């Protein structure tokens, strides 16, 4: 795939030991630029695929992450800017393997790395958002899209 500037490269210091990669814009929507599987239509509802790209929502069981705002093609690769419901995107540390798109729960704060630890949410635990990137093992850095509307135990 062609390379493009990292869509998560914008950093904003939170002053609380974390770094926001993307922050909420003035209109109230957090927009995030994702690599896409195809050129999608403006207004189309999309989900996060396990490889970290976005794909069209095609079933009622799909978990949508937003609505396409703009699309573009760059050297044969597709990208879409997506309106999302998220409050902020944070760098975090996985406590085990986590798939992109998985609901995640917050664990302890790692005072050595200065990153919040996250694990895949299991039934009965509160979720604080979803993993935008995958982790293959404990200690891997991940990006987590935080939405406290998700902060309810999964049934």
Taking only the tens place, the pLDDT of each residue in 119-153 is 888 887 888 888 988 899 999 999 998 876 544 44
| Domain identity same for 47 and 79 | yes
In a domain, 33, yes or no: yes
Binned at pLDDT 50, 70 and 90, residue 15 comes out as: very low
Q: Which residue range is the domain that position 39 belongs to?
A: 25-84
Domain end among 84, 102, 122: 84
- Strands (E) across 24-63 are located at 30-36, 45-48, 54-56
Q: Are residues 48 and 78 in the same domain?
A: yes
- Whether 8 is covered by a domain: the verdict is no
At which of 84, 103, 126 does a domain end? 84
Specify burial of residue 16 (Cβ count, 10 A radius: 0-12, 13-18, 19+): exposed
How large is the average pLDDT for residues 63-73? 91
| pLDDT at position 25 | 64
Question: Of 34-48, 58-72, 140-154, where does mean pLDDT reach its minimum?
Answer: 140-154
State how many domains the chain has.
2
Domain boundary among 84, 110, 130: 84
Let me know whether 108 and 69 are in one domain.
no
Please check whether residues 102 and 63 belong to one and the same domain. Answer: no
Mean pLDDT of the 10-24 span? 45
């Amino acid at each position: 795939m062609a390379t493009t500037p990292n869509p998560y490269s914008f950093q904003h210091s939170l002053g609380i030991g974390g770094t926001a990669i993307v922050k909420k814009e003035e209109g109230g929507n957090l927009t995030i630029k994702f690599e896409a599987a195809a050129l999608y239509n403006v207004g189309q509802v999309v989900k996060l695929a396990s490889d970290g790209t976005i794909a069209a929502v095609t079933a009622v069981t799909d978990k949508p992450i937003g609505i396409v705002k703009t699309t573009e093609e760059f050297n044969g690769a597709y990208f879409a800017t997506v309106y999302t419901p998220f409050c902020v995107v944070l760098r975090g540390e996985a406590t085990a393997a986590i798939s992109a798109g998985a609901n995640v729960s917050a664990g302890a704060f790692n005072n050595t790395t200065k990153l919040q630890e996250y694990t895949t949410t299991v039934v009965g635990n509160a979720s604080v958002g979803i993993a935008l990137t995958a982790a293959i093992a404990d200690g891997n850095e991940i990006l987590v899209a935080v939405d406290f509307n998700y902060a309810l135990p999964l049934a």
